[in-house]
Amino acid sequence: MLLSVIIVLTLLSYTCGDNPAIQMILTNKGLQYGKQTSVGWIQGKLGSLTVPDIHGGVDIGIGTVYYTLTGITVTKCDFPEPSVEFAPEVTGFRTSISGINLALTGQWFNQFGIIHDSGSFQAAIISVDVTSVLELGRDPDGHLSVDSASCDAHVGNVDVEFYGGASFIFQPFVDHFRGRIRAEIEMKICPAVKESILNLEYHLQAMNVSFDINQVLTLALPLTDSPLMDASSLKLCLKGEFYSINNPVEPPFEAQRFTMTEQSAYMLSVGLSEYSLNTASYGYYSAGFLQVLINDSMIPHISPVRLNTSYMGQFIPQLPKMFPGLLMTLQVYATEAPMFSLHPDAVKLCSQVAVKAFAIQPNGTQTPLFKLSVDSKFSGKMWIASGRLKGSMTMDNLTLTLASSEVGMFETDALQNMARTGMKFVVLTKLNDKLGKGII
Ligand SMILES: *[C@@H]1O[C@H](CO)[C@@H](O)[C@H](O)[C@H]1NC(C)=O
Ligand SMILES: *[C@@H]1O[C@H](CO)[C@@H](O)[C@H](O)[C@H]1NC(C)=O
Ligand SMILES: *[C@@H]1O[C@H](CO)[C@@H](O)[C@H](O)[C@H]1NC(C)=O
Ligand SMILES: *[C@@H]1O[C@H](CO)[C@@H](O)[C@H](O)[C@H]1NC(C)=O
Ligand SMILES: *[C@@H]1O[C@H](CO)[C@@H](O)[C@H](O)[C@H]1NC(C)=O
Protein backbone atom coordinates (compact mmCIF):
# COMPACT_ATOMS: atom_id res chain seq x y z
CA MET A 1 0.00 0.00 0.00
CA LEU A 2 1.39 3.32 -1.02
CA LEU A 3 1.70 5.85 1.77
CA SER A 4 -0.05 9.02 0.75
CA VAL A 5 2.19 11.90 1.60
CA ILE A 6 2.03 15.55 0.69
CA ILE A 7 4.93 17.94 0.78
CA VAL A 8 3.85 21.53 1.19
CA LEU A 9 6.17 24.42 0.73
CA THR A 10 5.07 26.74 3.44
CA LEU A 11 4.98 30.47 3.77
CA LEU A 12 6.64 32.38 6.54
CA SER A 13 5.27 34.54 9.23
CA TYR A 14 7.91 36.14 11.45
CA THR A 15 11.48 35.59 12.67
CA CYS A 16 12.39 34.03 16.00
CA GLY A 17 15.00 31.80 17.68
CA ASP A 18 15.59 28.11 17.12
CA ASN A 19 12.76 27.46 14.71
CA PRO A 20 12.01 24.22 12.92
CA ALA A 21 12.48 24.26 9.15
CA ILE A 22 10.58 21.05 8.56
CA GLN A 23 7.25 20.12 10.10
CA MET A 24 5.51 16.80 9.82
CA ILE A 25 1.86 16.22 10.58
CA LEU A 26 0.54 12.72 11.07
CA THR A 27 -3.23 12.58 10.67
CA ASN A 28 -5.63 10.00 12.00
CA LYS A 29 -5.56 8.42 8.53
CA GLY A 30 -1.82 7.91 8.91
CA LEU A 31 -2.24 6.59 12.43
CA GLN A 32 -4.74 3.97 11.27
CA TYR A 33 -2.34 2.90 8.51
CA GLY A 34 0.38 2.51 11.15
CA LYS A 35 -1.98 0.39 13.23
CA GLN A 36 -2.61 -2.03 10.36
CA THR A 37 1.10 -2.64 9.96
CA SER A 38 1.68 -3.17 13.68
CA VAL A 39 -1.16 -5.67 14.16
CA GLY A 40 0.73 -8.37 12.27
CA TRP A 41 3.81 -7.71 14.33
CA ILE A 42 1.91 -8.01 17.63
CA GLN A 43 0.21 -11.22 16.47
CA GLY A 44 3.64 -12.68 15.77
CA LYS A 45 4.77 -11.74 19.26
CA LEU A 46 1.75 -13.39 20.89
CA GLY A 47 2.31 -16.59 18.97
CA SER A 48 5.74 -16.98 20.51
CA LEU A 49 4.57 -15.95 23.98
CA THR A 50 6.00 -18.21 26.69
CA VAL A 51 3.96 -18.63 29.82
CA PRO A 52 6.07 -19.32 32.90
CA ASP A 53 5.44 -22.35 35.12
CA ILE A 54 2.83 -21.96 37.82
CA HIS A 55 3.54 -23.43 41.25
CA GLY A 56 1.41 -23.47 44.39
CA GLY A 57 -0.21 -25.40 47.17
CA VAL A 58 -3.80 -25.97 48.30
CA ASP A 59 -4.59 -26.80 51.93
CA ILE A 60 -7.16 -29.61 51.92
CA GLY A 61 -7.50 -29.83 55.74
CA ILE A 62 -5.48 -33.05 56.15
CA GLY A 63 -2.38 -31.50 54.51
CA THR A 64 -1.32 -29.54 51.45
CA VAL A 65 -1.47 -30.60 47.80
CA TYR A 66 1.48 -29.04 45.96
CA TYR A 67 1.10 -28.57 42.25
CA THR A 68 3.06 -27.37 39.21
CA LEU A 69 1.73 -26.42 35.79
CA THR A 70 4.58 -26.54 33.30
CA GLY A 71 5.42 -26.52 29.59
CA ILE A 72 2.59 -24.12 28.93
CA THR A 73 2.26 -23.25 25.23
CA VAL A 74 -0.20 -21.13 23.26
CA THR A 75 -2.01 -23.33 20.72
CA LYS A 76 -4.50 -20.80 19.40
CA CYS A 77 -4.89 -17.07 19.58
CA ASP A 78 -7.75 -14.83 18.42
CA PHE A 79 -6.44 -11.32 18.15
CA PRO A 80 -9.22 -8.85 17.36
CA GLU A 81 -8.42 -5.58 15.65
CA PRO A 82 -7.19 -3.07 18.20
CA SER A 83 -8.28 0.56 18.28
CA VAL A 84 -5.60 3.23 18.21
CA GLU A 85 -6.29 6.90 18.81
CA PHE A 86 -4.44 10.06 19.65
CA ALA A 87 -4.23 10.72 23.39
CA PRO A 88 -3.66 14.49 23.49
CA GLU A 89 -3.84 14.62 27.31
CA VAL A 90 -0.47 12.83 27.48
CA THR A 91 0.73 13.58 23.91
CA GLY A 92 0.66 9.97 22.93
CA PHE A 93 -1.40 7.10 21.61
CA ARG A 94 -4.06 5.02 23.32
CA THR A 95 -4.30 1.44 22.10
CA SER A 96 -7.13 -0.79 23.24
CA ILE A 97 -7.80 -4.40 22.39
CA SER A 98 -10.75 -6.25 23.78
CA GLY A 99 -11.69 -9.87 23.41
CA ILE A 100 -8.37 -11.65 22.90
CA ASN A 101 -8.94 -15.39 23.31
CA LEU A 102 -6.13 -17.89 23.89
CA ALA A 103 -6.00 -21.68 24.04
CA LEU A 104 -3.17 -23.20 26.08
CA THR A 105 -1.88 -26.71 26.75
CA GLY A 106 0.63 -28.04 29.25
CA GLN A 107 1.47 -30.64 31.88
CA TRP A 108 0.43 -30.77 35.51
CA PHE A 109 2.29 -32.42 38.40
CA ASN A 110 1.08 -32.73 41.96
CA GLN A 111 2.35 -34.06 45.21
CA PHE A 112 0.45 -34.90 48.38
CA GLY A 113 2.85 -36.32 50.99
CA ILE A 114 4.59 -39.22 49.22
CA ILE A 115 1.96 -39.46 46.47
CA HIS A 116 3.02 -38.06 43.06
CA ASP A 117 0.74 -37.75 40.11
CA SER A 118 0.84 -36.07 36.69
CA GLY A 119 -1.03 -35.51 33.45
CA SER A 120 -1.87 -32.89 30.88
CA PHE A 121 -4.24 -29.98 30.85
CA GLN A 122 -5.96 -27.65 28.42
CA ALA A 123 -6.92 -24.13 29.26
CA ALA A 124 -8.88 -21.42 27.51
CA ILE A 125 -8.32 -17.81 28.42
CA ILE A 126 -11.31 -15.80 27.36
CA SER A 127 -11.96 -12.08 26.86
CA VAL A 128 -8.62 -10.52 27.57
CA ASP A 129 -8.79 -6.68 27.40
CA VAL A 130 -5.67 -4.54 27.27
CA THR A 131 -5.45 -0.75 27.18
CA SER A 132 -2.05 0.84 26.88
CA VAL A 133 -1.24 4.53 26.70
CA LEU A 134 2.09 5.44 25.14
CA GLU A 135 3.52 8.87 25.81
CA LEU A 136 5.72 10.70 23.27
CA GLY A 137 8.45 13.13 24.14
CA ARG A 138 11.76 14.57 23.02
CA ASP A 139 15.15 13.85 24.58
CA PRO A 140 17.88 16.53 24.88
CA ASP A 141 19.54 15.31 21.63
CA GLY A 142 16.31 15.75 19.70
CA HIS A 143 15.36 12.08 19.45
CA LEU A 144 11.71 11.15 19.67
CA SER A 145 11.20 9.29 22.95
CA VAL A 146 8.43 6.93 24.03
CA ASP A 147 7.30 5.89 27.47
CA SER A 148 4.45 3.86 28.90
CA ALA A 149 2.00 6.29 30.49
CA SER A 150 -0.44 3.65 31.68
CA CYS A 151 -1.46 0.07 31.06
CA ASP A 152 -4.49 -1.93 32.14
CA ALA A 153 -5.07 -5.59 31.53
CA HIS A 154 -8.11 -7.64 32.41
CA VAL A 155 -8.69 -11.34 31.87
CA GLY A 156 -12.40 -12.20 31.63
CA ASN A 157 -12.47 -15.91 32.31
CA VAL A 158 -10.31 -19.01 32.42
CA ASP A 159 -11.38 -22.61 31.86
CA VAL A 160 -9.13 -25.54 32.78
CA GLU A 161 -9.55 -29.25 32.12
CA PHE A 162 -7.15 -31.81 33.59
CA TYR A 163 -6.43 -35.15 31.93
CA GLY A 164 -4.49 -38.25 32.92
CA GLY A 165 -3.31 -39.53 36.31
CA ALA A 166 -5.83 -39.35 39.08
CA SER A 167 -7.08 -36.13 37.63
CA PHE A 168 -10.49 -36.60 39.19
CA ILE A 169 -8.78 -35.93 42.56
CA PHE A 170 -7.40 -32.76 41.07
CA GLN A 171 -10.63 -31.50 39.50
CA PRO A 172 -11.96 -30.04 42.80
CA PHE A 173 -9.11 -27.50 42.73
CA VAL A 174 -10.02 -26.22 39.30
CA ASP A 175 -11.71 -23.14 40.74
CA HIS A 176 -8.51 -22.36 42.56
CA PHE A 177 -6.38 -22.79 39.40
CA ARG A 178 -8.74 -20.67 37.41
CA GLY A 179 -8.13 -17.74 39.73
CA ARG A 180 -4.39 -18.43 39.88
CA ILE A 181 -3.92 -18.61 36.10
CA ARG A 182 -6.12 -15.59 35.56
CA ALA A 183 -4.10 -13.52 38.03
CA GLU A 184 -0.76 -14.80 36.63
CA ILE A 185 -1.69 -13.83 33.10
CA GLU A 186 -3.16 -10.49 34.11
CA MET A 187 0.06 -9.68 35.96
CA LYS A 188 2.29 -10.58 32.99
CA ILE A 189 0.54 -8.53 30.27
CA CYS A 190 1.43 -4.99 31.30
CA PRO A 191 5.12 -5.71 32.07
CA ALA A 192 5.34 -7.30 28.59
CA VAL A 193 3.74 -4.22 27.02
CA LYS A 194 6.11 -1.94 28.95
CA GLU A 195 9.08 -4.03 27.86
CA SER A 196 8.20 -3.63 24.18
CA ILE A 197 7.81 0.14 24.69
CA LEU A 198 11.20 0.22 26.39
CA ASN A 199 12.63 -1.74 23.48
CA LEU A 200 11.17 0.77 21.03
CA GLU A 201 12.63 3.61 23.11
CA TYR A 202 16.03 1.93 22.97
CA HIS A 203 15.84 1.80 19.16
CA LEU A 204 14.72 5.44 18.94
CA GLN A 205 17.66 6.56 21.10
CA ALA A 206 20.07 4.66 18.86
CA MET A 207 18.72 6.33 15.72
CA ASN A 208 20.75 9.00 13.96
CA VAL A 209 19.24 12.47 13.82
CA SER A 210 21.36 13.34 10.76
CA PHE A 211 21.20 11.63 7.39
CA ASP A 212 23.50 11.93 4.42
CA ILE A 213 21.38 12.91 1.41
CA ASN A 214 24.17 12.43 -1.12
CA GLN A 215 27.97 12.75 -1.11
CA VAL A 216 27.75 16.50 -0.58
CA LEU A 217 24.91 17.16 1.85
CA THR A 218 23.75 15.87 5.18
CA LEU A 219 20.35 16.72 6.65
CA ALA A 220 20.00 17.35 10.40
CA LEU A 221 16.57 16.28 11.60
CA PRO A 222 16.52 16.47 15.40
CA LEU A 223 13.23 17.49 16.99
CA THR A 224 13.34 21.18 17.93
CA ASP A 225 10.35 20.86 20.26
CA SER A 226 8.33 18.26 22.07
CA PRO A 227 5.72 16.63 19.83
CA LEU A 228 2.46 18.58 19.63
CA MET A 229 -0.87 16.84 19.53
CA ASP A 230 -4.56 17.59 19.25
CA ALA A 231 -7.50 15.22 18.97
CA SER A 232 -6.87 14.53 15.29
CA SER A 233 -3.18 14.94 14.57
CA LEU A 234 0.39 14.75 15.75
CA LYS A 235 2.87 17.43 14.74
CA LEU A 236 6.63 17.01 14.82
CA CYS A 237 8.90 20.04 14.45
CA LEU A 238 12.29 19.15 13.01
CA LYS A 239 15.40 21.24 12.52
CA GLY A 240 15.52 20.45 8.81
CA GLU A 241 18.91 22.01 8.17
CA PHE A 242 21.24 20.85 5.40
CA TYR A 243 25.01 21.01 5.84
CA SER A 244 27.94 20.38 3.59
CA ILE A 245 29.49 17.10 4.76
CA ASN A 246 33.05 18.34 4.20
CA ASN A 247 32.55 21.90 5.39
CA PRO A 248 29.69 21.95 7.91
CA VAL A 249 29.32 25.66 8.67
CA GLU A 250 26.24 27.47 9.94
CA PRO A 251 24.63 29.59 7.23
CA PRO A 252 24.59 33.39 7.68
CA PHE A 253 20.79 33.42 7.98
CA GLU A 254 18.33 32.13 10.54
CA ALA A 255 15.31 29.89 10.44
CA GLN A 256 12.03 31.73 10.48
CA ARG A 257 8.84 30.61 12.11
CA PHE A 258 6.28 29.02 9.87
CA THR A 259 2.89 27.53 10.33
CA MET A 260 1.48 24.57 8.57
CA THR A 261 -2.09 23.42 8.55
CA GLU A 262 -3.27 19.86 8.83
CA GLN A 263 -4.11 18.19 5.52
CA SER A 264 -6.54 15.60 6.82
CA ALA A 265 -6.92 13.90 3.45
CA TYR A 266 -3.28 12.82 3.67
CA MET A 267 -1.68 10.39 6.11
CA LEU A 268 1.39 12.50 6.49
CA SER A 269 2.13 16.08 5.51
CA VAL A 270 5.68 17.37 5.37
CA GLY A 271 6.23 21.12 5.31
CA LEU A 272 9.54 22.55 4.13
CA SER A 273 10.40 26.16 4.83
CA GLU A 274 12.58 28.50 2.77
CA TYR A 275 15.24 28.04 5.39
CA SER A 276 15.50 24.33 4.68
CA LEU A 277 15.89 24.92 0.93
CA ASN A 278 18.35 27.74 1.52
CA THR A 279 20.55 25.67 3.83
CA ALA A 280 20.73 23.06 1.06
CA SER A 281 21.80 25.77 -1.34
CA TYR A 282 24.29 27.13 1.20
CA GLY A 283 25.60 23.61 1.76
CA TYR A 284 26.37 23.17 -1.94
CA TYR A 285 27.89 26.66 -2.00
CA SER A 286 30.14 26.12 1.02
CA ALA A 287 31.17 22.70 -0.31
CA GLY A 288 32.52 24.55 -3.37
CA PHE A 289 30.05 22.89 -5.71
CA LEU A 290 28.62 26.00 -7.29
CA GLN A 291 31.42 26.65 -9.75
CA VAL A 292 32.31 25.45 -13.20
CA LEU A 293 35.03 25.97 -15.81
CA ILE A 294 33.72 26.28 -19.33
CA ASN A 295 35.94 25.92 -22.40
CA ASP A 296 35.26 25.78 -26.08
CA SER A 297 35.35 21.99 -26.33
CA MET A 298 32.39 21.80 -23.92
CA ILE A 299 30.25 23.81 -26.33
CA PRO A 300 28.51 21.58 -28.90
CA HIS A 301 30.02 21.72 -32.39
CA ILE A 302 26.72 22.78 -33.94
CA SER A 303 26.52 25.86 -31.70
CA PRO A 304 27.26 29.14 -33.51
CA VAL A 305 28.66 30.50 -30.23
CA ARG A 306 32.41 29.82 -29.88
CA LEU A 307 34.63 30.56 -26.97
CA ASN A 308 37.37 32.30 -28.88
CA THR A 309 38.57 35.85 -29.15
CA SER A 310 37.62 36.13 -32.87
CA TYR A 311 34.03 35.13 -32.23
CA MET A 312 33.82 37.48 -29.21
CA GLY A 313 34.85 40.36 -31.48
CA GLN A 314 31.20 41.02 -32.28
CA PHE A 315 30.60 41.82 -28.58
CA ILE A 316 34.00 43.22 -27.65
CA PRO A 317 35.49 44.80 -30.78
CA GLN A 318 38.93 45.44 -29.23
CA LEU A 319 39.38 41.82 -28.08
CA PRO A 320 40.49 40.16 -31.38
CA LYS A 321 42.83 43.09 -31.98
CA MET A 322 44.54 42.62 -28.61
CA PHE A 323 44.42 38.78 -28.60
CA PRO A 324 43.84 37.49 -32.14
CA GLY A 325 42.66 33.91 -32.67
CA LEU A 326 42.90 32.59 -29.10
CA LEU A 327 40.58 30.13 -27.41
CA MET A 328 39.00 31.29 -24.16
CA THR A 329 37.89 29.76 -20.86
CA LEU A 330 35.17 31.01 -18.55
CA GLN A 331 35.38 30.54 -14.82
CA VAL A 332 31.78 30.67 -13.54
CA TYR A 333 31.10 30.68 -9.82
CA ALA A 334 28.36 31.72 -7.40
CA THR A 335 29.44 34.76 -5.41
CA GLU A 336 26.69 34.05 -2.90
CA ALA A 337 24.58 31.01 -2.17
CA PRO A 338 21.46 31.14 -4.36
CA MET A 339 18.47 32.03 -2.18
CA PHE A 340 14.98 30.60 -2.42
CA SER A 341 11.81 32.39 -1.42
CA LEU A 342 8.45 30.71 -1.27
CA HIS A 343 5.34 32.30 -2.71
CA PRO A 344 1.79 30.96 -2.86
CA ASP A 345 2.10 29.88 -6.47
CA ALA A 346 5.82 29.47 -7.00
CA VAL A 347 9.30 29.11 -5.63
CA LYS A 348 11.53 32.08 -6.51
CA LEU A 349 15.28 31.78 -6.75
CA CYS A 350 17.86 34.56 -6.96
CA SER A 351 21.41 33.79 -7.93
CA GLN A 352 24.50 35.94 -8.21
CA VAL A 353 27.21 34.59 -10.37
CA ALA A 354 30.57 35.93 -11.48
CA VAL A 355 32.07 35.01 -14.84
CA LYS A 356 35.82 35.50 -15.30
CA ALA A 357 37.01 35.24 -18.90
CA PHE A 358 40.54 34.22 -19.85
CA ALA A 359 42.37 33.95 -23.17
CA ILE A 360 44.50 30.81 -23.53
CA GLN A 361 47.91 31.81 -24.86
CA PRO A 362 49.70 29.41 -27.24
CA ASN A 363 52.06 28.51 -24.36
CA GLY A 364 49.05 27.63 -22.14
CA THR A 365 49.12 30.73 -19.97
CA GLN A 366 45.65 32.04 -19.15
CA THR A 367 45.49 35.80 -19.55
CA PRO A 368 42.61 37.45 -17.63
CA LEU A 369 40.34 39.50 -19.91
CA PHE A 370 37.32 40.69 -17.96
CA LYS A 371 34.87 39.77 -15.23
CA LEU A 372 31.07 39.89 -15.50
CA SER A 373 28.43 39.90 -12.77
CA VAL A 374 25.31 37.98 -13.66
CA ASP A 375 22.23 38.35 -11.49
CA SER A 376 19.39 36.04 -12.37
CA LYS A 377 15.93 35.41 -11.04
CA PHE A 378 14.01 32.22 -11.57
CA SER A 379 10.57 30.90 -10.73
CA GLY A 380 9.95 27.27 -10.15
CA LYS A 381 7.38 24.78 -9.11
CA MET A 382 7.78 21.62 -7.10
CA TRP A 383 5.55 18.60 -6.87
CA ILE A 384 5.62 14.99 -5.87
CA ALA A 385 5.29 12.23 -8.40
CA SER A 386 6.28 8.57 -8.18
CA GLY A 387 7.50 9.13 -4.63
CA ARG A 388 10.04 11.76 -5.63
CA LEU A 389 10.19 15.51 -5.23
CA LYS A 390 10.30 17.00 -8.72
CA GLY A 391 10.45 20.50 -10.08
CA SER A 392 10.72 22.82 -13.02
CA MET A 393 12.31 26.26 -13.42
CA THR A 394 11.77 29.24 -15.70
CA MET A 395 13.91 32.35 -15.99
CA ASP A 396 12.29 35.62 -14.92
CA ASN A 397 15.22 37.92 -15.54
CA LEU A 398 18.93 37.96 -16.10
CA THR A 399 21.11 41.05 -15.96
CA LEU A 400 24.72 41.12 -16.90
CA THR A 401 27.13 43.89 -15.91
CA LEU A 402 30.85 44.40 -16.42
CA ALA A 403 32.54 44.15 -13.02
CA SER A 404 36.14 44.71 -14.17
CA SER A 405 38.10 44.56 -17.39
CA GLU A 406 41.71 44.16 -18.53
CA VAL A 407 40.73 44.91 -22.13
CA GLY A 408 38.88 48.21 -21.63
CA MET A 409 35.18 49.00 -21.43
CA PHE A 410 32.57 47.49 -23.74
CA GLU A 411 28.78 47.40 -24.08
CA THR A 412 27.19 44.35 -22.42
CA ASP A 413 23.67 44.49 -23.95
CA ALA A 414 24.42 42.08 -26.77
CA LEU A 415 26.25 39.69 -24.42
CA GLN A 416 23.32 39.88 -22.01
CA ASN A 417 20.90 38.90 -24.77
CA MET A 418 23.12 35.97 -25.68
CA ALA A 419 23.36 34.92 -22.02
CA ARG A 420 19.56 35.07 -21.67
CA THR A 421 19.12 32.89 -24.73
CA GLY A 422 21.79 30.46 -23.53
CA MET A 423 20.20 30.27 -20.08
CA LYS A 424 16.73 29.63 -21.45
CA PHE A 425 17.52 27.16 -24.17
CA VAL A 426 20.61 25.40 -22.91
CA VAL A 427 20.96 25.61 -19.11
CA LEU A 428 17.28 25.47 -18.12
CA THR A 429 16.48 22.78 -20.66
CA LYS A 430 19.15 20.57 -19.12
CA LEU A 431 18.18 21.54 -15.56
CA ASN A 432 14.48 20.88 -16.12
CA ASP A 433 15.36 17.53 -17.56
CA LYS A 434 17.10 16.70 -14.25
CA LEU A 435 14.44 18.29 -12.03
CA GLY A 436 11.74 16.42 -13.91
CA LYS A 437 13.43 13.15 -12.98
CA GLY A 438 13.36 14.03 -9.28
CA ILE A 439 15.50 15.91 -6.78
CA ILE A 440 15.14 13.63 -3.74
C1 LIG B 1 24.60 6.77 12.09
O2 LIG B 1 25.54 7.61 11.45
C3 LIG B 1 26.84 7.09 11.41
C4 LIG B 1 27.77 8.15 10.82
O5 LIG B 1 27.16 8.89 9.81
C6 LIG B 1 26.85 5.80 10.59
O7 LIG B 1 28.14 5.25 10.55
C8 LIG B 1 25.87 4.81 11.23
O9 LIG B 1 25.78 3.67 10.42
C10 LIG B 1 24.50 5.44 11.37
N11 LIG B 1 23.65 4.55 12.12
C12 LIG B 1 22.42 4.21 11.73
C13 LIG B 1 21.66 3.33 12.63
O14 LIG B 1 21.94 4.64 10.67
C1 LIG C 1 37.94 21.64 -21.60
O2 LIG C 1 37.56 21.07 -20.35
C3 LIG C 1 37.44 19.67 -20.37
C4 LIG C 1 36.88 19.25 -19.05
O5 LIG C 1 37.42 19.98 -17.98
C6 LIG C 1 38.81 19.06 -20.67
O7 LIG C 1 38.68 17.65 -20.70
C8 LIG C 1 39.30 19.57 -21.98
O9 LIG C 1 40.61 19.13 -22.24
C10 LIG C 1 39.29 21.10 -22.02
N11 LIG C 1 39.61 21.54 -23.37
C12 LIG C 1 40.48 22.52 -23.62
C13 LIG C 1 40.64 22.88 -25.04
O14 LIG C 1 41.10 23.08 -22.72
C1 LIG D 1 37.15 31.04 -33.54
O2 LIG D 1 35.83 31.06 -34.07
C3 LIG D 1 35.75 31.36 -35.47
C4 LIG D 1 34.27 31.41 -35.80
O5 LIG D 1 33.65 32.44 -35.11
C6 LIG D 1 36.45 30.29 -36.23
O7 LIG D 1 36.44 30.62 -37.60
C8 LIG D 1 37.89 30.16 -35.75
O9 LIG D 1 38.52 29.08 -36.38
C10 LIG D 1 37.92 29.95 -34.25
N11 LIG D 1 39.28 29.93 -33.77
C12 LIG D 1 39.84 28.95 -33.08
C13 LIG D 1 41.23 29.12 -32.62
O14 LIG D 1 39.21 27.92 -32.82
C1 LIG E 1 53.22 32.84 -22.40
O2 LIG E 1 52.96 33.74 -23.49
C3 LIG E 1 52.56 35.06 -23.09
C4 LIG E 1 52.16 35.85 -24.32
O5 LIG E 1 52.98 35.55 -25.42
C6 LIG E 1 53.68 35.71 -22.30
O7 LIG E 1 53.28 37.00 -21.87
C8 LIG E 1 53.99 34.84 -21.09
O9 LIG E 1 55.10 35.38 -20.39
C10 LIG E 1 54.30 33.42 -21.50
N11 LIG E 1 54.41 32.62 -20.30
C12 LIG E 1 55.36 31.66 -20.15
C13 LIG E 1 55.33 30.93 -18.85
O14 LIG E 1 56.13 31.39 -21.02
C1 LIG F 1 15.34 42.76 -15.00
O2 LIG F 1 16.15 43.33 -13.98
C3 LIG F 1 16.56 44.67 -14.26
C4 LIG F 1 17.53 45.11 -13.17
O5 LIG F 1 17.20 44.57 -11.92
C6 LIG F 1 15.33 45.56 -14.35
O7 LIG F 1 15.71 46.87 -14.66
C8 LIG F 1 14.41 45.00 -15.43
O9 LIG F 1 13.22 45.75 -15.49
C10 LIG F 1 14.08 43.56 -15.18
N11 LIG F 1 13.33 42.99 -16.30
C12 LIG F 1 12.25 42.28 -16.14
C13 LIG F 1 11.62 41.75 -17.38
O14 LIG F 1 11.80 42.02 -15.03
Task: Dump pLDDT digits (tens) for 48-66.
Answer: 767 778 888 877 778 888 8
- Binned at pLDDT 50, 70 and 90, residue 389 comes out as confident
Query: Are 133 and 90 in contact, with CB atoms under 8 Å apart?
Result: yes
Domain check: are 47 and 195 in the same one? yes
Domain check: are 302 and 406 in the same one? yes
Expressed in angstroms and rounded, the spacing between residue 355 Cα and the centre of ligand 3 is 21
Take atom 13 of ligand 2 and give the residue whose Cα is closest: 297
Residue 41 lies in a domain: yes
Query: Which amino acid, residue 210?
Result: S
- Whether the predicted pLDDT of 26 surpasses 60: yes
Average pLDDT over residues 216-242: 92
Domain that holds residue 184: 3-13+30-206
Domain check: are 334 and 198 in the same one? no
| Ligand 2 atom nearest to CA at 329 | 14
CB half-sphere exposure, 436, CA atoms < 13 A? 8
Q: What is the DSSP string of 382-413?
A: EEEETTEEEEEEEEEEEEEEEEEESS-----H
How many Å apart are CA 121 and CA 224, to the nearest integer?
A: 56
Residues 337-365 have pLDDT tens digits of: 999 998 888 889 999 999 999 999 999 99
- Whether the predicted pLDDT of 233 surpasses 60: yes
Domain check: are 40 and 175 in the same one? yes
- C-beta atoms surrounding 440 within 10 Å: 11
Q: Are strands 268-272 and 22-27 parallel, antiparallel or unpaired?
A: antiparallel
| Ligand 2 atom nearest to CA at 327 | 13
Probe target for ligand 2 pocket from 292, 294, 297, with the most ligand atoms within 8 Å of CB = 297
Query: Are 251 and 282 in contact, with CB atoms under 8 Å apart?
Result: yes
Residue 371 lies in a domain: yes
Residue 227 lies in a domain: no
Domain check: are 190 and 338 in the same one? no
Cβ neighbourhood burial of 179 (10 Å; 0-12, 13-18, 19+): exposed
Candidates 288, 187, 204, 307; CA nearest to 244 is 288
Query: Which amino acid, residue 318?
Result: Q
Expressed in angstroms and rounded, the spacing between residue 363 Cα and the centre of ligand 4 is 6
CA angle 186, 191, 193 (to 5 degrees): 95
Average pLDDT over residues 390-403: 94
Domain check: are 199 and 301 in the same one? no
| Domain finish residue from 206, 236, 256 | 206
Tell me the CATH number at 70: 3.15.10.10
Dihedral class, residue 423 (left if φ above 0, else alpha if ψ from -120 to 50, else beta): alpha
Domain check: are 317 and 190 in the same one? no
Q: Write out the H or E segment, with its range, that includes residue 202.
A: helix 174-206
Please tell me the total count of domains within the chain.
2
Residue 242 lies in a domain: no
| Domain finish residue from 206, 234, 255 | 206
Probe target for ligand 3 pocket from 295, 303, 306, with the most ligand atoms within 8 Å of CB = 306
Domain check: are 421 and 313 in the same one? yes
Domain check: are 142 and 7 in the same one? yes
Q: Which residues line ligand 4 (CB under 6 A)?
A: 361, 363, 365
Expressed in angstroms and rounded, the spacing between residue 95 Cα and the centre of ligand 3 is 76
Probe target for ligand 2 pocket from 291, 296, 298, 306, with the most ligand atoms within 8 Å of CB = 298
Query: Which amino acid, residue 349?
Result: L
Domain check: are 168 and 315 in the same one? no
The pLDDT value given to residue 1: 29
Take atom 9 of ligand 2 and give the residue whose Cα is closest: 297
Residues 310-329 have pLDDT tens digits of: 999 999 999 999 999 999 99
| Domain finish residue from 206, 239, 261 | 206
Tell me the CATH number at 428: 3.15.20.10
Query: Which amino acid, residue 277?
Result: L
The pLDDT value given to residue 373: 97
How many Å apart are CA 98 and CA 292, to the nearest integer?
A: 65
Residue 158's contacts (CB-CB under 8 Å, 6 or more residues apart) are: 123, 124, 125, 126, 177, 178, 181, 182, 185
Can you give the pTM of this predicted structure? 0.77
Cβ neighbourhood burial of 213 (10 Å; 0-12, 13-18, 19+): middle
Dihedral class, residue 262 (left if φ above 0, else alpha if ψ from -120 to 50, else beta): beta
How many Å apart are CA 244 and CA 210, to the nearest integer?
A: 12
Q: Is the dihedral of CA 107, 110, 114, 117 positive or negative?
A: negative
Average pLDDT over residues 265-284: 90
Query: Which amino acid, residue 115?
Result: I
- C-beta atoms surrounding 406 within 10 Å: 13
Residue 330 lies in a domain: yes
Residue 193 lies in a domain: yes
- Of 27-31, 369-373, 396-400, the poorest mean pLDDT is in 27-31
Residue 36 lies in a domain: yes
Q: Write out the H or E segment, with its range, that includes residue 99.
A: strand 92-112
Query: Are 240 and 221 in contact, with CB atoms under 8 Å apart?
Result: yes
Domain check: are 314 and 437 in the same one? yes
How many Å apart are CA 307 and CA 299, to the nearest integer?
A: 8
Q: Own/partner pairs for 184-187, CB < 8 Å, 24+ apart?
A: 184/51, 184/52, 184/54, 185/51, 185/125, 185/128, 185/155, 185/158, 186/153, 186/154, 186/155
Domain check: are 428 and 330 in the same one? yes
Residue 378's contacts (CB-CB under 8 Å, 6 or more residues apart) are: 348, 349, 350, 351, 393, 394, 395, 396
Residue 270 lies in a domain: no
